[in-house]
Chains A and B, each alone.
Chain A
Amino acid sequence: MTTSEPYVLNIGPQHPSTHGVFRIRVVMDGEKIQDIDMIVGYLHRSMEKLAEERTYTQNIPFTDRADYLAAMSGNLGLCLAAERLAAVEVPDRASHLRVIFAELQRIASHAMANGTLVSDAGAWQTPLLYMFREREKILDLFEMTCGARLTTNYMRIGGVAFEPPPEFWPALGELVDELPERIDEYAQLVQENEIFVARTRNVGIISPEDAINGSLVGPALRGSGVPWDLRKTEPYCGYDNFEFEVPVGTVGDVYDRFMVRLEETRQSTRIIQQAIDSISDGPHKTDVPLALRPEPGEVYGRVEGPRGELGFYLVSDGSPAPYRFHIRAPSLINLSLLRDMARGATLSDAVVTLGSIDIVVGEIDR
């Protein structure tokens, strides 16, 4: 009679399915996962410590490098928190520009998330590159506005750094016009693909109760059917003036999280169109002192980033540098349920589940 015994399988730190420098140690019993342990920190740069010695404005570039696939959302989160701490007013035009860039960033980030998820499910690279087509155009828009494609450092406390150049607006209009058609094309490409559906339906199911208790946020929470979106529940930048819907899943599996992201890109396109239509002339920022000294106090500012609630907890002691600077990183906290989800699953399902959570390792490690 033959017997089997568990063995340890190491995945990463460099592995295509870990989406960065992320390592998992898996205890396998045959095909099934018995236990999983994540080993992170390969990208740890101690941003929170460094931030305590820099001014609020000097800290904005750190947010680019935390979630490097959604730099605009990070910029926005820090700026909103610091503005609330220091009671800075933002002009209307700046808020509109922020909405346009944050939503463009969401589309670019979701394209990346969904593209790599489809790659994980076995459709090697082709759908990923389809989804990169529009992402490239978005990054071109970023580049013509602020000179950088990923680490944008575009937003400032009190507004945004630059007015977009004249050629930005026609290029943006063209992109927004063609986006709905392109998104339909992505959906057709994978949505009814038998292999993709078989790999993702009823895989990695998270119940709404577990999702809430496990502090899941963003598409991971909404995929489980909880309609929680900070743009609706705690509107900032005038999101309450825009019409859009919050897509939710029904089962809470990988497929639902994929579809929530896909649908959110459609909604983001709607928001951008409304922002373009309603943007007014005026200043793009208010002048704020270089060494901003907020009153002693604390603030927890948060935005709905592509990966969910991106929070900035700032404590001021009245000096130009924050006394405490904490980033609530959705990528890290969404992994709280990783062990529960992976236990008992096969390795191939665990890889797809991890892909559907959409982690960015720069944000996990900070």
Chain B
Amino acid sequence: MPNGPNQLQSKIVADALNSAIPGIIKNITDDYVEVEVQQLEECLRWLRDSEEFDAAQLSNLCGIDYHDYFMVVYHLQSLDLNHQIVIKVRTQDHSDPTIPSAVPVYKGALLQERETYDLMGIKFENHPDMRRLFLWDGFPGHPLRKDFLGIGNGRTSGLNRFPFENESDPVRVINQDNRVDDDNSQESPSSWGGA
């Protein structure tokens, strides 16, 4: 169970949250507590201000693409009590995901949310400055999404297999699928759209 060394038990956090804000808990696992997206800001504010949890600092915020939906994970840290709380929310939609911003509660979310918007395409409502961070304004798409630059036919760019993986046939099989046969080789594939 790869929990953080000082991570609080999810059940303790979930029980307290549920009694403070009824109906907020969506899911509990060993690793995290998933909360309802509408009540995210309320949840973070309560955890920050509560004496029992004292989640004074937002240490990490990032998004994860699960093809049909996104998860956004918040790693909260109490400096006085030295424990960590992991909260997650799930976005409703994959094409235009929107969740409430954490900036009113944690100023440290300012740049992390801009980064998540830029690379993952998750919009944060009430963020004071919701612009791209690294890429320029006209950049097509959001690169960290799993469907960005898909080659098609279920293949992705990069290494599909790893060397010496097939024990019965121990040859290096890197990108075997992408090998071009001599018979139908061409200067550049037509899918590149070039000459």
Which residues of chain A are near B82, meaning CB under 8 Å? 233-234
Number of A-B contacts (CB under 8 A): 111
Would A85 and B2 count as touching, CB distance under 8 A? yes
Instruction: List residues of chain A with CB within 8 A of the CB of B122.
Output: none
A212 close to B56 (CB less than 8 A): yes
Q: Which residues of chain A come closer than 8 Å to B134, judged between CB atoms?
A: 40-41, 44, 365
Chain A 18-47 interface 0/1 with B at a Cβ cutoff of 8 Å (1 = within): 000000000000000000000011001010
A49 at interface by CB-CB < 8 Å: yes
- Segment at the interface with B among A68-76, A253-261, A292-300: A292-300
Interface residues of B in 4-61 (CB under 8 A from A): 4-6, 31-32, 56-60
- Does any Cβ of B come within 8 Å of A214's Cβ? yes
Contacts of B73 in A (CB 8 A): 313
Q: Are B2 and A213 in contact (CB under 8 A)?
A: no
Contact between chains at A215 and B144 (CB < 8 Å): no
Residues of B in contact, count (CB < 8 Å): 45
Q: B79 to chain A: which residues have CB within 8 Å?
A: 212, 226, 228
Q: A290 to B162, Cβ gap below 8 A?
A: yes
The answer on a CB contact under 8 Å between B163 and A290 is yes
Residues from chain B with a CB closer than 8 A to the CB of A335 are 111
- Given A215-B107, A299-B2, A333-B108, CB of A291 within 8 Å of CB of B165: yes
Q: How far is the CB of B114 from chain A (nearest CB, A)?
A: 10
Asked whether A320 lies within 8 Å of B58 as measured between CB atoms, the reply is: no
Contact at B108–A311, with CB atoms within 8 Å? no
Contact partners of A349 in chain B: CB under 8 A: none
Query: Quick check: is A216 within 8 A (CB to CB) of the other chain?
Result: yes
Interface size class of A (residues with CB under 8 A): 35 or more
- Contacts A49-B143, A214-B107, A336-B110 given; indicate if A309 touches B2 (C-beta within 8 A): no
For the complex formed, measure the closest distance between the CB of A184 and the CB atoms of chain B, giving whole angstroms. 32
Report B-chain residues with C-beta under 8 Å of the C-beta of A290: 162-164
Chain A residue at minimal CB-CB distance from B73 = A313
**B130 interface residue (CB < 8 Å to A):** no
Residue among A40, A299, A337 making CB contact with B133, cutoff 8 Å: A40
Contact B59 A336 (CB under 8 A): no
How distant is the Cα of A309 from the Cα of B4 in the complex, in angstroms? 14
**Residues from chain A with Cβ under 8 Å of B144 in the complex:** 48-49
Query: Shortest distance in angstroms between B164's beta carbon and chain A's nearest beta carbon?
Result: 7
Q: Say whether A270 faces chain B, with CB atoms less than 8 Å apart.
A: no
Residue in contact with B158 in the complex, picked from A53, A85, A291, A324, CB distance below 8 Å = A53
Per DSSP, chain B at the interface is: loop
Contact check, B108 vs A214: say whether CB atoms are below 8 A apart.
yes
Within A214-248, the residues touching B (CB, 8 Å) are 214-217, 226, 228, 233-234
The answer to whether A300 and B119 have CB atoms under 8 Å apart is: no
Inter-chain contacts of A49 with B (CB < 8 A): 119, 143-144, 148
Structural contact, B6 and A234, CB atoms closer than 8 A: yes
**CB atoms of B4 and A216 under 8 A apart:** no
Interface string of A49-65 (1 = CB under 8 A from B): 11001110000000000
**Inter-subunit contact B75/A311 (CB<8 Å):** yes
- B60 neighbours in A (Cβ, 8 Å): 300, 311, 313, 326, 328
A41-B163 Cα distance, complex, nearest whole Å: 34
CA distance A87 to B111 in the complex (A): 32
A210 at the A/B interface (Cβ < 8 Å)? Answer: yes
**Cα-based distance from A226 to B56 in the complex (angstroms):** 12
Which residues of the partner chain B approach A53 to less than 8 Å between Cβ atoms? 156-159
Q: Given that A49-B143, A213-B107 are contacting pairs, would A297 and B62 also be in contact in the complex, using a CB cutoff of 8 Å?
A: no
When distances are taken between beta carbons in the complex, the residues of chain A under 8 Å from B111 are 332-333, 335-336
- Nearest residue (CB) in A for B163 is A290
- What separation, in Å, do the CA atoms of A216 and B58 have in the docked complex? 9
B60, closest chain A residue (CB): A328
Q: Tell me the complex Cα distance, A88–B65, Å.
A: 27
User: Within the assembled complex, what's the spacing in Å between the Cα atoms of A324 and B120?
Assistant: 12
Residue B86 at the A interface, CB < 8 A? yes
Chain B interfacial positions (CB closer than 8 Å to A): 1-2, 4-6, 31-32, 56-60, 62, 64-65, 73, 75, 79, 82, 84, 86, 106-112, 115, 119, 133-136, 143-144, 148, 156-159, 162-165
3 A-B pairs closest in CB distance: A215-B108, A53-B158, A41-B134
Given A315-B64, A326-B62, 4 extra CB contacts under 8 A: A213-B106, A217-B59, A300-B4, A336-B107
Chain A residues in contact with chain B, CB under 8 A? Answer: 40-41, 44, 46, 48-50, 53-55, 84-85, 87, 210, 212-217, 226, 228, 233-234, 290-291, 297-300, 302, 309, 311, 313, 315, 320-321, 323-324, 326, 328, 332-333, 335-337, 340, 365
* 9 A–B pairs (Cβ distance < 8 Å), ordered by A: A87-B2, A213-B107, A215-B107, A234-B82, A300-B4, A313-B60, A313-B73, A313-B75, A328-B62
